[in-house]
Each structure stands twice: as structure tokens, then as C-alpha cells.
Chains A and B, each alone.
Chain A
Amino acid sequence: MRPRLLIKRLLFLVLVIWAASTIVFFIPRLSSRNALRERFAELARTGGFSSTDMEKIIASMQKQFGLDQPLLQQYWQYLNNLVHLDFGVSLYKYPATVTELIAQALPWSISLLLVTTILSFVIGNLLGAIAAWPRSPRWMRGIATPFVLLTGVPPVIMGVLLLFFIGFRLKLLPLGGSYSVGLIPDWSWPFFLDLMAHQILPALALIFGSVGGWVLSMRGMGITIQGEDYVNFAEHKGLTPGRIFRDYYLRNTLLPQVTGLALALGTVVTSAIIVEGLFALPGIGSLINVAIRANDFPTIYGIVIFITIAVAVLMAILEFVYPLIDPRVKNE
């Protein structure tokens, strides 16, 4: 790889992270809510925490976290910490650090989110490509439409319906949780099966909602490609429809979609907020849900930046991989 290009890409990555961290820094500070106070309030409300000196404790903790300094100074401190990869301590779940919390939550999300994103990518794009291909049989093209309509179904309703009918009425699959009550995680076959069984319904809820998006964009792509000369040329050459579909059509429509795959990983976390809540999966979605509700900004920053970095890095990797797959694309 040419060094100039590498530097350019790295610079881009840095800019993206800076932009994301700046945007997300100021927003929660707009409101006067304070996560420390929320936590104490909750303790007071539910736990009989009757210290009238709550204010003093909060004040001393604010000082400890540097929250009483002017905003701009906090911003510099924040950027400084970021560079050292220090996300700080969670205000709401004090004294756990944000890195700890993310590490605790990640295992419960990552398999679910990765698998569902890739599955809906594959299924959605295939359906979208078929839908746009004029030579597909009528009924195959028709399949796309119901999936597109499904994007309108709120994941909340989809999840509740799945739980109600499949989990409760039919008792086929568990009603939530990451694994069955009373088990401890270990490297065993029965545990693995139990884990997978608990992932099926949440995966379905996520996939159904997101396939439609891929179908739409792929179909749009497909329509554009259809008109291209090389497709016509392939037809005139007399290649079989299947071969044209696979080698000329699919391959070219799929490539631009791959960048979208990286972006989709970012949006799937937001869908995960709802789905993880519904199915009691203590993953990243649940973590940020609690953080947002308590205005626990260190955790919010940590998660948003983490996701942004993941997406940006993935995009960068894909851009390097692109020329390997499509020799026409040269890095300028």
C-alpha cells in the first residue's frame, strides 16, 4: 500500500472519531440532569437511603470527576483521556469503569448482532437483486414487496408477537434471557445449544425488520446496473441467464452494498436497544438504554465512540479489500 494513501485513510479515521466524540460530548450536557443525582435519587426512592447530606456527597463526587469545571475545560480533558483510551468511570454504575461495562456487555450482543446483520444482508440483497432482475419469475419478484412492508413493523411489536405466540403459546423457544435459569457459562455442548436457543427469537425480530432496507437499496442498485452495457453485451453473447445473473449482475450490484454493511452494524445497535430490552439480553443495547435514561454521559460517550470506531475501521478495511475483489477499482 502506498504510504500517502495510508496516511490519508488514517487521517480520515481520526477525523471521524473526533467528529463523533465532539457531537456526542455536548448533547447530554445540554440538559441539567446529573447521573450521580439520578443514582442517589433512585437509591433514596427504592432503598430508603435517607442521607440528608446527599447533596454534599454528590458535590464531592462531582469534584472528583471534574464535573464542576467549565465546559470547555472538561472538553479538553475528555479529548485528552480519549487519546489515552481512557473512557473514565460510569456515573450511574459507579465505581465500574466504562471499559469494564462495555466488556461485560459485549459478549451478549456481539454474536447476535453480527449474525443477524450478515444474515439480513445476504437475504435482503439476494431478494432485492432477484426483484430487480427482469428475467426472474413473477412470483420471485413479488417476494420482495412483503419484506419491504415488514420494515414498517416496529421491532417491539414483532418481538412481543414472537414471544407471545412462539414462546408462550407454543412453548417452542424460551421467553427471554441469554441462557436458562440456573446454568453457568462454560465450554460445553449443552450450554452452547441453550445459548443458541435463546438467540433465535431475538435474531428473528431483528432480521425481519432490517431485511426490507437491504431489499430496497439492492433493488435500486440492480435497476441501475440492469441498464449497463456489459449486461446487454453478456446477453447478446448468449450466456445462460443464471450465469449472467451471478457473474455479471450480482457481483457488480453487491460490491457497493458492502460499504453499506459496515454502516448497518452501526444502526443495528440502535435496533438492539429495543430487542435486547424485550428479550432481557444484557448486551450493548441494554447498556446504552440504561445510560441514556440516567444521562450517564461517560457510558454514552464510550459506547457511541466505540461503535463509531468499529464502523469506521470496518469501512476502512472494506475499502482496502475492494480492489482485491474488483480489479477495476484503483485507489486514487
Chain B
Amino acid sequence: MTTVAMSPQQAIEQPNGLVLLLRYLRRNKGLAVGLAIFLALVLFTVIGSFTVDLKHAYPLSVGLKKPPSWQYPFGTDFFGRDLLAAMVVGLWQTAVIGILAGGLGTLIGVILGFIAAYFGGFADATIRTVCQILTPIPVLLIQVVIASSLDKRDVTIFTMAFIVVLLAWMGPTLVIRSQVLTMKERQFVSVAKLSGVSDFGIIFKEILPNLLPFIAAAFVSQVFLAVFAAFYLAVLGLGPLREPLLGNIIWAATGQGAFFNGWWWWPIEPSIGMILILGSLALINMGLDELANPRVRRTE
């Protein structure tokens, strides 16, 4: 038996978190592009809030029907809104709806999914059955019916977020539930149980951290659905009409025959805005899918 001399342990240099992230983004182009667009939109909104007079996002503030120019880079609409200001305000209002509804939906999904999977038995059966029963129901249609039943003065950004969440939580619930079910059986949980860690401890210290990628993915897709549903309701004319939500602007533009009258910038700009928002969310979602599946996560 021989012994082999080993060189003294060298400190293994770990690149810091940021570098790892950037490297990952380089590989996962979809996620990178999505994040880039998203960041650009955030910057647009933030810078816009400071440099543009936001009161101009409401009717009769500026000259009417002016095409894009130096003074009004996005032009103005039939009612006298400065479309640059309208886009800034509309974007952050959309963000509020998305995050509020998305966050709420994910939260409900996580809580219900956990309860169902972890405690099993009757709770599990009930939650699972309720989710399955509600699935075939045409959700968007019901949301349209709700939105049009409300008293117009009650329709605000917050009620819209609420309507959107009402029937959107079933997806994340089932996903989280199935993930927790798999994890429950894994070794690290059994080990933790044997070591005497309490139920709560297991949930928060063992399972939750491993679920984070799935929760993140669910959150992003919930935000996507929320923004999409809110946008759809607004395009039908069911949103809070005075607010410059992107869907509202498009609704007003098609109602006044914008294309035929040659005011192409009026509906096109919010459409591009919508494409960018939903597109970036979709790309981020795609990227997170990969992240969540370690087998597929591209290695360097």
C-alpha cells in the first residue's frame, strides 16, 4: 500500500454570485432577452415618472391628434392625452395589477398546494377536487361577466386585479402540490424528520428553498395571466375608463376609427407596449422553466 502525496488544499476560487448569474444568462439567451426587455420597461417607467408631467396622461391636457414630434415624442390622441405620459402611467398601472394579482394568486397557490400535499388525506382530496372541478370552466368568460356586472364607479385598478385573481389560483395550487408531494418522499425530508425538526421547520427550512424555482416560475406565469386578463377586459371597454391603461387606449382608438382616420400612432404604441410586456414575461417564464429542471439546466 502506497500513499500518494497530495498537494495542500488550494482555496478553490468561487466566482461571486453576479458573475455566475451573468454566465448563466449568456447560455440561456431567452431569459436574458426577456430580462433585458423587462428592465428596459422598468427604466422607461421610472425615468418617465420623473421627467414627464403625468397629469398629461388624462384627456384635454394637450393639443389633440398630433402625430409624434419633438414636443410629443409619442404623439397625442383624440381626447388630448399626451401618449408618452399615458404610456408611462399605463405601464406602471399594468405592473401594479400584474404584481398584485400575480402575487396573490401565487400566494394562494403556495398555501393551498402545501396544505394539500403536506397534510394529505381529506384536505388534499378536497383541494384537489375543487381545483379539478373548476378547471373546465371558461375562466376568462366569467371574468368578463363579472367585470361587466360591476357598477362602473367600482371599477378601479385594484378591483380589476381582484377579478383576475378570483379564478386563476388553481394552476399554481396543482403545480406546487405535485412538487411538494415528490419532495415529501425525498430523503432529506425523512432525515430532517428523524432529527426531530418540527413540521414548520421542515416546511420553511427544507422544502421551501427547493421549491423556489417553481414558485418563481409560477409567479411569473401568474403575472403574465393577470396582465393578459386585465388587458383583455380593458380592450373590451370594461376597465376604469379614465385611466390610461394600455387596453383602454386601444379600446378608445378602435372606437374612434383611429386607423381609418390616419392616427396610426394612437393604437400602435400601446400595442407595442403590450407586446413588450407580455413577450418579456413569456421569455422570462421560458427561461425559468429551464432553471427549475436541473437535468436540463444547461451546464457550461
Contact = CB atoms under 8 A, between A and B. Distances in A.
Interface string B279-300: 1001101100110010110000
Contacts, number: 138
Given A16-B137, A148-B283, A227-B296, A273 B236 contact: yes
Interface string A1-38: 00000000000100110011001100110110100000
Given A148-B283, A154-B271, A223-B296, A270 B144 contact: yes
Contacts of A31: 149-151
Tell me the dominant secondary structure on chain B's binding face.
Answer: helix
Interface in A119-154: 145, 148-154
Contact of A16 (B136, B141, B146, B275): B136
Given A151-B282, A274-B235, A292-B144, A19 B132 contact: no
A223 B293 contact: yes
Interface residues of B, number: 49
Contact of B149 (A30, A154, A156, A312): A30
Contacts of A226: 295-296
Contact of B138 (A27, A150, A212, A308): A308
Contacts of A80: none
A169 B142 CA distance: 37
B274 interface: yes
Interface stretch (A62-70, A102-110, A184-192, A260-268): A260-268
Contacts of A16: 133, 136-137
B191 to A, nearest CB: 25
A152 B279 contact: yes
Contacts of B142: 23-24, 27, 304
B271 A270 contact: no
Tell me the dominant secondary structure on chain A's binding face.
Answer: helix
Interface string B140-172: 111011101111000000000000000000000
B138 A267 contact: yes
Nearest to A219: B286
A287 to B, nearest CB: 12
Given A33-B149, A227-B295, 10 more contacts: A19-B133, A30-B149, A153-B271, A156-B250, A157-B250, A216-B285, A220-B289, A226-B295, A269-B138, A293-B148
Pick the 3 closest A-B CB pairs, nearest first.
A227-B295, A152-B278, A152-B275
